[in-house]
Amino acid sequence: MRIVIVIILGILLTFGWLKQEEKYVSNDEIIYAETGFTPDISSVNDLESRSCTDQLNYIPDPEFPNHMPSRQVKVNFHFMYDKNGKNNIAKKNAPEYIEGLLWNLNNRIKKNVKMHLPLNNSNPALYPGYQYVLSPDPKRPNDTGIYYHYDDDLYWFVNKGKTRNDYDKRAFEKYGVLKDEVLNVFVMPHHPDSIASKTYRNQLCGIAFPSQNWTKIAGSYATLKDTLIKNGKPFIRSGWFCHGVYNHELGHVLGLHHTWGGNDGCDDTPNHTNCYSAGQGKGNCRENWSNNVMDYNTHQNSWSPCQIGLVQRNFANKKSSQRKILIPTWCKLDDENPVMIEKNIVWNGARDLESHIIIQPGRTLTINCRVSLPSMAQIIVKQGATLILDGATIENDCGDQWDGIKVWGRGKNKGKVVMLNGAQLANNRVSFKS
């Protein structure tokens, strides 16, 4: 009996009757539906919030991290000195300081702490989905991404009084490197004359210029001078001490605003009195302190879901200044880690993916916004699965071509592709070839 079964299976395989058919979808196989089309499935995510500009549609789903890959933000650092090379961290110590600083910045982002305000909130502490990467200028021999400038007129920072220069842009205009491609960070000392005054606060502070992708940070040297001298391995600790101010000012460059007053664009960051630290102060400040990175507090270690959505929306916006300072990791295909659609999913925000998309049998992926796929990436719609492109554009954003859409199965069990509301397949290689 077993021999007979084996023979029958062999015959079926020979004639291809059991072979899983896989082919690129052809133009006459795509379903061009009218507006208001409703898929014939029992459970689809909420289709009401469809805006491609709503930051809430860019909040990462921790269950599916590669549906919104982590972004890499390019940064460089400029140490400003007087003409004698004084009044800032010693040049020989600067690289180690930056190494420790970047480790601490990125580690704090990875370890996003639950928000303290509003009290007793249920907001999840999600991974913000970005990291900072030191980025040298490839056109400069032996460049490290760390620069040293000696300028009596521009090395200093003053944020009050007649000589106030916190909004002065001349240092960036004169010394900025890859201004349109890298976030430039200027590490500056407070002016010695200001520090000598009893009324001037010698503290860590900074200011950001989001539209130009740069920031200046003051006080690292003066505040940490004793620490740098007294400790054998001081720089990791120094990076820890400064991380809050740096993440705060860089957060402004990424599009975030102060949360304690006015409207920062997020409902999950309540207005408050900007209390500085947990358990310190009087009255309301003993409980109503903030740990949000965009407040003035000693913690600055929390990003709200909406704030994360704002940053990710800016990264996905092809016209934003923030997108210009990203390493375009979505241009190179990661063939080993496809985006697996294993339940019915709706994507309402734009995405830049790094791999293939595979829709598992019987599942539906609905795409309502722009999606960029790397060169040679495919969308695979397995048997009984459905891909719905509702006003979406599928493209390659790197001047290349993504491969196309493949459907699996035969007859009524064949994967389906539905396009409506002006959906487009742009610069794809073979999507309309039968």
Q: Can you give the pLDDT of all 434 residues of the chain as single tens digits?
A: 566 555 555 544 444 444 467 888 877 788 876 555 655 544 344 444 568 999 999 999 999 999 999 999 999 999 999 999 998 988 998 998 899 899 999 999 999 999 999 999 999 999 999 999 999 999 999 999 999 999 999 999 998 888 899 999 999 999 999 999 999 999 999 888 887 888 887 788 899 999 999 999 998 665 454 444 444 444 444 556 688 999 999 999 999 999 988 899 999 999 988 888 776 666 778 888 999 999 998 899 999 999 999 999 999 999 999 999 999 999 999 999 999 999 999 999 999 999 999 999 999 999 999 999 999 999 999 999 999 999 999 999 999 999 999 999 988 899 999 999 999 999 998 866 54
Beta bridge partners of 351: 371
**pLDDT of res. 124:** 97
Q: Rounded CA gap, 341 and 63, in Å? A: 11
Q: ∠ CA(370), CA(375), CA(377), 5° rounding? A: 75
Beta bridge partners of 75: 134, 183
**pLDDT of res. 201:** 76
- Consecutive H or E run containing 81: strand 71-81
Give the orientation angle of helix 94-110 with respect to helix 235-253, to 10 degrees: 60
Q: Show the tokens assigned to 379.
A: 């969308």
Q: Rounded CA gap, 192 and 156, in Å? A: 8
Q: Rounded CA gap, 62 and 355, in Å? A: 18
- Consecutive H or E run containing 133: strand 130-134
- Which is it for strands 214-218 and 205-209: parallel, antiparallel or unpaired? antiparallel
Q: Show the tokens assigned to 261.
A: 């007053």
Closest CA relative to residue 395, chosen from 414, 375, 420, 409: 375
Q: Show the tokens assigned to 352.
A: 């830049």
Length of the chain: 434
Q: Are 377 and 395 in contact (CB under 8 A)?
A: no
**pLDDT of res. 35:** 53
Q: Show the tokens assigned to 311.
A: 């940053």
Residues 6+ apart with CB under 8 A from 263: none
